[in-house]
């Protein structure tokens, strides 16, 4: 609590999150033991005088509150500008994905084969099951489990979208397992002919940041959309935006009511009734 002469203030932790949120909450207190105020001089003024003075104080509060709301409105516009810069920086700070330039490599860490480009990635791994042979006194392979995936690789937060895949497909013949792997690689070779193949339209959002396609990418059947405004023009439009509170904006119902009241031309039905009554 902040102590002032004759009153105290609880501010509940005023906080500003730039470009996002503003928190201001204050409570004025006057009834705690170490900051009591002498009310006798006020009591002597009588109810009528005190009530009138109170009403004037309330009106003064409302004027100050209106100024505060105007200041908050000014902050809202400035916060929108900050957020615009933040979103542009988010786009610029999104790094391109690393890839193998459409070449198969072996990853020792994951013990798998991989091929990738800016859009697609395919991985293949084989787990060998062994069994101890007492006659040979050694472990011998008895089965091979093949796992493969084809994913779409989004630069945003490492997000991936699975296109196709198979988990732990079991073979008891190693040659058959290898033939299956080569068949899968050949089936999806079409995805790995370009460094940045066109993105299908239904996956375009995975390659956009804040609605803008990342550099180096194209979308099937869509031409790049040029911008017709400069950054300064957009910032100036935000600065000049309308900031009326809901209290100041005339309601639709009020407009309709005023329209009916101000209308001087009676409806055709009403006019016909008036003529019949004459």
Question: Tell me, what's the pLDDT at 251?
Answer: 44
pLDDT of 260 higher than 70: no
pTM of the model: 0.73
**Cα–Cα dist 76/237, whole Å:** 13
Residue 23 CA to its chain's centroid (Å) = 20
| Structure token digits, residue 170 | 């079991």
Distance CA 214, CA 156 (A): 10
How many other C-beta atoms are found inside a 10 Å radius of the C-beta of residue 207? Answer: 24
Cβ–Cβ < 8 Å for 11, 2: yes
Residue with tokens 């009138």: 52
Average pLDDT score over residue span 245-254: 48
Q: For residue 156, count CB atoms less than 10 angstroms from its CB and return exposed for 0-12, middle for 13-18, buried for 19 or more.
A: middle
Section 114-129 average pLDDT: 96
Residues 105-135, buried b or exposed e (16+ Cβ, 10 A)? eeeeeeebbbbbbbbbbbbbbbeeeeeeeee
- In this prediction, residue 198 carries a pLDDT of 96
**Phi, psi values for residue 193, rounded to 5°:** -105, -20
The residues, ordered by sequence, that sit 6+ positions from 250 with a Cβ below 8 Å of its Cβ are none
d(CA 201, CA 206): 10
- How confident is the model at residue 1, as a pLDDT? 77
Q: How far is it, in rounded angstroms, from Cα 60 to Cα 108? A: 74
Q: What does the pLDDT average to over 203-229? A: 92
- Whether the pLDDT of residue 207 is over 90: the answer is yes
| Residue 22, both tokens | 């503003």
Q: Average pLDDT of the chain?
A: 86
Q: Put the strands of the sheet holding 7-10 in their side by side order.
A: 2-4, 7-10, 27-29
Out of 106-110, 136-140, 188-192, give the one with best mean pLDDT: 188-192
Whether the per-residue pLDDT at 175 is higher than 90: the answer is yes
Average pLDDT over residues 156-163: 82
pLDDT of residue 243: 67
pLDDT over 90 (residue 149): yes
For the segment 33-55, the average pLDDT, to the nearest whole number, is: 86
Compute the average pLDDT of residues 180-194.
97
Strand partners, 164: 150
**What contacts 119, CB < 8 A, 6 or more positions away?**
152, 153, 191, 196, 197, 199, 207, 217
> How many angstroms separate the Cα of 187 from the Cα of each of 64, 164, 190, 244?
72, 11, 7, 60
By percentage, how much of the chain surpasses pLDDT 90?
Answer: 64
Q: In the structure, what pLDDT confidence band is assigned to residue 241 with cuts at 50, 70 and 90? A: low
pLDDT over 50 at 274, yes or no: no
Q: Select, from the ranges 158-172, 174-188, 241-255, the one with the highest average predicted confidence (pLDDT).
A: 174-188
With a cut of 80, say whether residue 35 has pLDDT above it.
no
């Amino acid at each position: 609590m902040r102590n002032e002469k004759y009153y105290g203030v609880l501010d509940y932790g005023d906080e500003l999150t730039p470009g996002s949120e503003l928190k201001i909450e204050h409570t004025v207190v006057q009834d705690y033991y170490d900051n009591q105020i002498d009310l006798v001089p006020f009591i002597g003024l009588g109810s009528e005088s005190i009530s009138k003075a109170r009403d004037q104080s309330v009106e003064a509060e409302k004027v100050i509150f209106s100024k505060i709301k105007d200041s908050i409105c000014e902050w809202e516009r400035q916060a929108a500008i900050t957020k615009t810069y933040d979103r542009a920086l988010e786009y610029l700070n999104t790094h391109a994905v690393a890839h193998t330039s459409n070449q198969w490599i072996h990853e020792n860490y994951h013990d798998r084969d991989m091929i990738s480009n800016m859009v697609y990635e395919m991985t293949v791994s084989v787990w060998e099951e062994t069994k101890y042979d007492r006659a040979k006194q050694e472990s011998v392979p008895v089965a091979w489990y093949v796992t493969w995936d084809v994913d779409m690789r989004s630069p945003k937060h490492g997000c991936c979208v699975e296109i196709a895949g198979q988990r732990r497909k079991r073979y008891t013949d190693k040659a058959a397992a290898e033939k299956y792997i080569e068949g899968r690689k050949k089936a999806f070779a079409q995805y790995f002919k370009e460094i940045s193949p066109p993105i299908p339209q239904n996956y375009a959002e995975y390659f956009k940041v804040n609605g803008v396609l990342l550099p180096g990418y194209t979308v099937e059947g869509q031409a790049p959309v040029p911008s017709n405004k400069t950054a300064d023009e957009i910032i100036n439009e935000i600065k000049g935006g309308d900031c009326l509170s809901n209290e100041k904006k005339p309601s639709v119902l009020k407009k309709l009511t005023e329209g009916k009241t101000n209308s001087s031309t009676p409806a055709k039905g009403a006019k016909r009734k008036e003529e019949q009554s004459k």
